[in-house]
Amino acid sequence: MTPLVRKLAQYAAYHRDQRNILTHFVGIPMIVLAVIILLSRPTLFTLGEWPITVALLGAIWTLAYYFRLDARYGLAMSVFMILCVLVGTEAAQASTALWLSAGLGLFVVGWIIQFIGHYYEGRKPAFVDDLMGLIIGPLFVLAELGFVFGLRKDVEQAVEREAGPVRKGQPAVGH
């Protein structure tokens, strides 16, 4: 099993209810954008006209990890992260009230959506047992979105062999 499949399967084990996965399509991008917005304000230094922020360095570190797992997913995640950093940089230039309300608002609403999904799942979020779930979550959303469109069938089949099939809106056992 490749490191990519192992990480996705570990995360997927906490996300087998289709409704939970659907909430993650909304909640996780909101949370990622929120964190980037909030970490875009403190500038560590500038490189020409470009502010070097904790958000930018975190995005670069995270993308390096994604590329180590899989170049194609790393490239796709780069598009998303670049957009988030650009939005975060713009938000950081706004008033403190707008910057904070955008960042905190997206963060809180994103987590509410996540917890609704885990109510359907009948299981706690993956990061509770492994903090790497916070990094793998966005990659999982990208992979699941690709699976919807028939992409990376080999990865999808390997993940399902390890984590089991996705349940189509059926209540979790004991729920």
pLDDT at 129: 74
Distance CA 66, CA 5 (A): 12
Closest CA to 140 of 44, 5, 2: 5
Domain boundaries, the chain: 3-163
Half-sphere exposure of residue 7, counting CA atoms within 13 Å on the CB side? 20
**C-alpha pair distances (Å), 17 with each of 1, 13, 122, 170:** 23, 10, 9, 7
pTM: 0.91
For 80-130, write each residue's pLDDT tens digit.
999 999 999 999 999 999 999 999 999 999 999 999 998 988 877 777 776
